[in-house]
Structure 1
């Protein structure tokens, strides 16, 4: 489709050209609209210039207006313009900055900058009312008494524009790694293409101009020695359109940094698995790329990182090992004095159950874990078995995972007896939703890891409750004081990556989004340390994209330069890596403060003002825009001067007056060092101890169970489903001895005792024996638990918990009343949705089309005013989605809600999706409170912009009635 540009006819003749186009570039067409005195002129660079002066003590705002009497054409999808804005005191920041579409058309926030930047506003995404937009206003609320801004090239477009301007970031480079200069060095940059009259301006992160000058004829830019900080450099040349900025940072000198091997501030490096590490090596390939990122880890002040070592390439065939690929990063990290924890969460194809990610050969797990620990002894400081087993990386059952984790623990300890073992990090931080951790811990798994490990991508405000929940769970399983690590930590608060990457489906963060990350990194690290986390690993060092390119990660950009978050992390480690946390002082409402003691006995106060990042749940697409600095003043007692260091390391000396030190907190963390003692309101939380729960078990004897095909597995992988009419009811019990001693003992079962249990069992060293058991034929419908245990050589062994739900054949189950009526289903989606009856499929049909660049989700709701009937074991449903396996949605959930609308507790259960065929799922309810469930949602987060799916035969399974399956 050919791109269209609409020019809106205006009533005032002076503003209508020959083609009735709006003269956005005509100063006379703009109306003064400000709390100060505004002048509007034709400025340089083909722009309209707005100069505003405010009277002290007034509310500062300036929003010049362009009349749009006919509104915006219905087919216009984007507003595009270029803008740069400077206020008298650039470091004062802005309270707000908006594009306003009349009084009723809508409002969109933007982030001012003192260099030319392109603004693209998606009118549909921001729900702009086109007919109601009778005027266009572009402006801001500055915090200082004078403002000047220029606007040019304003257009309404049907399609996303192609930006033909040159980008400053693509023109500027340096020999310094990632554009990082050590404090005290003279920054030297170079332009890749020189133009006559090319000049530059350098700004700090608050927009204050730090340097300006002309680019030398050979393209060099030699800057004055600058203090620590994150800087942007803009270019300008006569007759050239150059937008945006390049960036560089001056960071603390690593040689002078106070540090500690026990620093809690860590990072997920992932050098072995992220593809951009290889491409960053250039002609040197992967080895040079790993070397480059190891050097960057040192510049960030890292003493400890996270790596990955998998079985696929390391043991391509049983007993054949090749460490060339996965050995590179640990070897280079160790050579640089950087410790690491390494996670193994990928079985070699030969070790898997066919078509699945997991395996059942515990001996193979033990052998590879032992070989890992032997091979990387002295290079790897801790081992993790698996990654996020609660999100689908492990697709076996809970008891199978527990057995494999036990075998891995024993293997790691055999290969390196003193090495700590870390559990596979859990990622679903609502234990009301996520039953997986409790289910596996009931198998005595707390005896088989030394450090507890979670991942947190949630909102900052939820951190205290998340950590408290996990601590309660550990306490329930006898490991209350176990050390806690957060081996992945990140945020989605910046929203979907805003800028297109030419020639790629991946998108990149805008400068505003990068500043959200820079704010997040030290806040999250400090908050988690205050909650007792011994180590927190920011995700991730190299660049990478997820969610079909819309989510960008990485402390380093794809062009090799460092993001502002990197400079913020380097400042954090410089200030606090060697410090001991003392607690939280009370500095007033809206201010967070954390006190630390340095090795020399001095104190450092880390503090910030709470922003939207601390308090709210950001829009998943639009995210946060850090315009408002949330400036809050406070004072502390002081008898001497102190050093104040900002987010990016720039320091100044501050002196007390009348025995008090007056300071201003903003949304960006800062550090005060050398002041007087400050009392704490909240004492520190201990980090716990390294070591597995010890209760005298013989850990070397491990049980596992393999069910026959009569059983099916519940969608949450935590129970077996069995029809009451099943005849054989067989399971295989496997008993393995992972020790060098002969073991003799018995296996016992509590609960529904099966037949076929052996008497005394004798196991030679590293021997496994298998026994066939049968469940009792008379088990009534309902939920049952078989708890396997036993005694070997006079000592108890760890348990294996096997939940089983028994029900009658599916044909005897009643349909859920009203579930086949499309009128009973409520629309609930981020796209345009229709619900109808499909006669051909004999099912309710759901059609959804999503707008571009939106967070795609569809979860139609079915109301249950009286909850599920008493005695409901669960419900089953059939689903069909017209999609190929490669197009499976990112997330497939059943949401069980204790309340109406968004109110009440929601339990999320993953189901097995359809790939074109009809698929039946069973959702177990016995572990919830069926009578409290007032609605459920069945849906998905699809990959495609358009999706159709069908639901039919939603059946209730009651005690004494109803069956269950999860088969095609």
Structure 2
């Protein structure tokens, strides 16, 4: 072969090798540097020799190039890049490998981290490499994050009653020890049950074993814990779509197990996906608020919805406060244990616009949570994580920071120690929120005033009017922003405005600048030291439902018989203590249905660490015929503690025919659904739909779907004379031929804001069913445009949708009658 040919082959080989080479950070924490200080960031080279020379470009949060250079080759073929970066977020790009990485230039956190700032890590499940895991723990510590929410596979840790495997292939023990070593607390959580305990859908059947199991887990991992959260999203499929009365017994069992072994750790209940009052009310009625120290919830809504959402949870807690010990429900701490904004699945890092959108929403929701008195805020989710069409990660595939994590670290730095004091009054309509936080003087630190200005709109050239003296303005990532007399820069949609120390003297009347009587302030004032929970009872009651008789749903139990008749309710009584206990059941009156038990007052004696079943009977016929639903109230006392009342509240609902259902209401009016001109198609993707009438159905919908989402919700235009704010709800008679979730939407004008029934309306079994839809039960649709005021404005509703989500390639939904009703 000629020399020329050999040289050509060598050039081709080098080009291919260089193209195949990839960089990765030698250590994740190297991507976090002190601002304005020379730091050397080291990169490993994988898959081939490094490109020569290894050129790089550094861009800031706004994608402006601020530096460039050539890395130097170090030991073992690694690349070193000397960087001296201003405060804020940066991306370093290596054109030769077509890779970008995040670098955050913020001061390292000093001193104890504040409880409010937390993150959902899920490192046990989402990160397999120990070095990456520990690096992320160290980064959390450096960033001022107090607690990481983790996942535990309960069945793997305790595969048999007499066997504990603390490490497992997921290396649970290694991770928790790393967290303890670096001083980052773990919020422990599991939402599976070991098979050997038996299961009630997803929950453990044997609550005695469950309590004993968590005693063993606590005995091993308590040093790493900052709290234990009971389950994840029990109000949806993670809880088997069961009612809350099946969830609460598990919380009670864990609470007693911890109490018995004197494990002093905050117990957190709820972790709900939705603010569904039916599920929440049932949880409170069954005693959840008396057996936990805090209540947690999740939200993936928009920042401007946070205030209304927190208010709804507070309203629920206030409603049930009188029934809790010491009215503790009134001051129950609220934790948000999942709160995120995804970007589109696919690349190792998101495009800058998607990254910035994610950062803006996550951070402003944190600001809003702080202002509304939420006790702890967990951004979701720390590592790279793809789910369906989304990626929720705040780190990229190589575990370097995205804008969202950099912005969260800056939020921690800005808000730490700050107390919400009101809203800054501004005449600039571009400012949607201006939350004012004050921080008192401390050892070596002066008092500070910070206003978080939120426009919600990203524009590189944006500024807003500002009429108070300013010390400095920082962007969402901490970089300095320009400001001048009467204005401040606001390119990111959010800016931190530190007021000059003499601003009060300069404006003359501070009261004229601040509104301290805001809705958020009323929520913030509920933030106080919680009332300690009382000693839990060792007796736990659980309903053993018969799936042949009732269909469990998150809102209660649907009685299958039509018409409903007598119900035999089997109650399992668990005794978690080491002593035998006698339990006395009281005959009660259920709402619209009397208890008629063969044994009016059963008094079973339960051996230690065991359970006994008792059966009670309810006559459901009259209650279902008159109201369509009722609550069975089962109360009991124990001989050892007769003053402690045990209560099990079960919610049942059933069906009556069309005419008896309408008779429950003072007034009703049929809607003209047979008029096809009132209907407008609305179907996912490339699906097709057909609407017509039949002798049985005033309206029939046939839908056919391709790949992707399968939903169909055509719009029905209401008659001009029908005003939904004059009515209480709808009654529908419908049937669906194949499995589906049949729901109804209400639309606020043409705004795109939709409210939806929180649960499927009917059983999709090919049979006719009658359902009542009360407007007060509808919830915002998170798949549609967010509602600025967070409430359903019935006076704006001129269209409704009747439709379904289904997995079937084709399905048919029929409606014979649809009416508005008034109570």
2:462 aligns to what? 630
1:611 aligns to what? 455
1:620 aligns to what? none
Residue in structure 2 matching 1:251, options 94, 97, 105:
105
After TM superposition, give the deviation of residue 271 of structure 1 in Å: 1.1
What's the CA shift string for 1:357-379, capped at 9, x where partnerless? 23443323322333333332222
- Relative to 1, partners in 2 of residues 1:921 and 1:173: Cα closer, same or farther, differing over 3 Å? farther
Matches within 5 A, 1:249-288: 249-254=103-108, 257-274=109-126, 277-278=127-128, 281=129, 287-288=130-131
- Relative to 1, partners in 2 of residues 1:838 and 1:331: Cα closer, same or farther, differing over 3 Å? farther
- Relative to 1, partners in 2 of residues 1:380 and 1:938: Cα closer, same or farther, differing over 3 Å? farther
What is the distance in 2 between the residues matched to 1:834 and 1:402? Answer: 43
- Relative to 1, partners in 2 of residues 1:483 and 1:811: Cα closer, same or farther, differing over 3 Å? closer
What's the CA shift string for 1:64-112, capped at 9, x where partnerless? xxxxxxxxxxxxxxxxxxxxxxxxxxxxxxxxxxxxxxxxxxxxxxxxx
1:701 aligns to what? 539
Residue in structure 2 matching 1:227, options 86, 93, 97:
86
- Say if 2:382 and 2:393, in contact at 8 Å, map to a contact too: yes
1:950 aligns to what? 812
Residue in structure 1 matching 2:759, options 910, 922, 926:
910
What is the distance in 2 between the residues matched to 1:486 and 1:349? Answer: 30
- Say if 1:519 and 1:669, in contact at 8 Å, map to a contact too: no
- Say if 1:525 and 1:536, in contact at 8 Å, map to a contact too: yes
What is the distance in 2 between the residues matched to 1:560 and 1:188? Answer: 15
- Relative to 1, partners in 2 of residues 1:351 and 1:451: Cα closer, same or farther, differing over 3 Å? same
- Relative to 1, partners in 2 of residues 1:867 and 1:769: Cα closer, same or farther, differing over 3 Å? farther
Higher helix share: 2
1:311 and 2:154 correspond: yes
What is the distance in 2 between the residues matched to 1:746 and 1:480? Answer: 30
Residue in structure 2 matching 1:187, options 40, 62, 65:
40
- Say if 2:300 and 2:341, in contact at 8 Å, map to a contact too: yes
- Say if 1:856 and 1:941, in contact at 8 Å, map to a contact too: yes
- Relative to 1, partners in 2 of residues 1:172 and 1:914: Cα closer, same or farther, differing over 3 Å? farther
- Relative to 1, partners in 2 of residues 1:538 and 1:880: Cα closer, same or farther, differing over 3 Å? same
1:342 and 2:188 correspond: yes
Residue in structure 2 matching 1:738, options 576, 580, 601:
576
- Say if 1:200 and 1:236, in contact at 8 Å, map to a contact too: yes
Matches within 5 A, 1:569-588: 569-588=408-427
2:653 aligns to what? 805
- Say if 2:743 and 2:761, in contact at 8 Å, map to a contact too: no
- Relative to 1, partners in 2 of residues 1:175 and 1:872: Cα closer, same or farther, differing over 3 Å? closer
- Say if 1:606 and 1:669, in contact at 8 Å, map to a contact too: no
After TM superposition, give the deviation of residue 267 of structure 1 in Å: 0.6
- Say if 1:831 and 1:858, in contact at 8 Å, map to a contact too: no
Matches within 5 A, 1:358-507: 358-395=203-240, 396-429=242-275, 431=276, 434-478=277-321, 479-492=329-342, 496-497=344-345, 500-501=346-347
What is the distance in 1 between the residues matched to 2:660 and 2:22? Answer: 71
After TM superposition, give the deviation of residue 863 of structure 1 in Å: 6.8
What is the distance in 1 between the residues matched to 2:359 and 2:798? Answer: 41
> What is the DSSP-based 3-state SS (H/G/I as helix, E as strand, rest coil) of the residue aligned with 2:365?
helix
Greater shift in the superposed pair: 323-332 or 604-613:
604-613
1:670 and 2:531 correspond: no
> What is the DSSP-based 3-state SS (H/G/I as helix, E as strand, rest coil) of the residue aligned with 2:605?
strand
1:750 and 2:589 correspond: yes
> What is the DSSP-based 3-state SS (H/G/I as helix, E as strand, rest coil) of the residue aligned with 2:570?
strand
Greater shift in the superposed pair: 866-875 or 298-307:
866-875
1:14 aligns to what? none
- Say if 1:861 and 1:937, in contact at 8 Å, map to a contact too: yes
After TM superposition, give the deviation of residue 920 of structure 1 in Å: 7.6
Greater shift in the superposed pair: 795-804 or 598-607:
598-607
What is the distance in 2 between the residues matched to 1:872 and 1:200? Answer: 62
- Say if 2:243 and 2:553, in contact at 8 Å, map to a contact too: no
2:401 aligns to what? 562
Matches within 5 A, 1:494-573: 496-497=344-345, 500-501=346-347, 509-546=350-387, 548=388, 550-573=389-412
2:788 aligns to what? none
What is the distance in 1 between the residues matched to 2:364 and 2:151? Answer: 26
The structure with the larger Rg is 1
- Say if 2:635 and 2:646, in contact at 8 Å, map to a contact too: yes
> What is the DSSP-based 3-state SS (H/G/I as helix, E as strand, rest coil) of the residue aligned with 1:231?
strand
Return 5+ residue gaps in structure 2 as ranges: 1-14, 322-328, 505-509, 663-669, 779-793
Alignment size in residue pairs: 731
After TM superposition, give the deviation of residue 293 of structure 1 in Å: 2.3
Residue in structure 2 matching 1:682, options 511, 516, 526:
516
- Relative to 1, partners in 2 of residues 1:543 and 1:880: Cα closer, same or farther, differing over 3 Å? farther
What is the distance in 1 between the residues matched to 2:752 and 2:356? Answer: 33
What is the distance in 2 between the residues matched to 1:802 and 1:180? Answer: 53
- Relative to 1, partners in 2 of residues 1:737 and 1:692: Cα closer, same or farther, differing over 3 Å? farther
After TM superposition, give the deviation of residue 483 of structure 1 in Å: 1.1
After TM superposition, give the deviation of residue 894 of structure 1 in Å: 1.0
After TM superposition, give the deviation of residue 337 of structure 1 in Å: 0.5
TM-score by length of 2: 0.76
> What is the DSSP-based 3-state SS (H/G/I as helix, E as strand, rest coil) of the residue aligned with 1:316?
coil
1:847 aligns to what? 703
- Say if 1:179 and 1:562, in contact at 8 Å, map to a contact too: no
- Relative to 1, partners in 2 of residues 1:440 and 1:902: Cα closer, same or farther, differing over 3 Å? farther
What is the distance in 1 between the residues matched to 2:212 and 2:173? Answer: 18
- Say if 1:583 and 1:596, in contact at 8 Å, map to a contact too: no
Return 5+ residue gaps in structure 1 as ranges: 1-163, 282-286, 502-506, 614-625, 883-888, 960-968
After TM superposition, give the deviation of residue 392 of structure 1 in Å: 2.1
Residue in structure 2 matching 1:879, options 736, 750, 763:
736
- Say if 1:556 and 1:566, in contact at 8 Å, map to a contact too: yes
- Relative to 1, partners in 2 of residues 1:236 and 1:715: Cα closer, same or farther, differing over 3 Å? closer
- Relative to 1, partners in 2 of residues 1:268 and 1:165: Cα closer, same or farther, differing over 3 Å? farther
1:729 and 2:729 correspond: no
After TM superposition, give the deviation of residue 301 of structure 1 in Å: 2.4
TM-score by length of 1: 0.66
Greater shift in the superposed pair: 467-476 or 204-213:
204-213
- Relative to 1, partners in 2 of residues 1:950 and 1:343: Cα closer, same or farther, differing over 3 Å? same
- Relative to 1, partners in 2 of residues 1:643 and 1:445: Cα closer, same or farther, differing over 3 Å? same
Greater shift in the superposed pair: 571-580 or 481-490:
571-580
2:8 aligns to what? none
> What is the DSSP-based 3-state SS (H/G/I as helix, E as strand, rest coil) of the residue aligned with 2:368?
helix
What is the distance in 2 between the residues matched to 1:900 and 1:181? Answer: 48
- Say if 1:697 and 1:795, in contact at 8 Å, map to a contact too: no
What is the distance in 2 between the residues matched to 1:232 and 1:167? Answer: 21
> What is the DSSP-based 3-state SS (H/G/I as helix, E as strand, rest coil) of the residue aligned with 2:290?
helix
- Say if 2:423 and 2:515, in contact at 8 Å, map to a contact too: yes
- Relative to 1, partners in 2 of residues 1:250 and 1:226: Cα closer, same or farther, differing over 3 Å? same
What is the distance in 2 between the residues matched to 1:167 and 1:564? Answer: 29
After TM superposition, give the deviation of residue 874 of structure 1 in Å: 6.2
Residue in structure 2 matching 1:827, options 676, 681, 699:
681
What is the distance in 1 between the residues matched to 2:691 and 2:730? Answer: 29
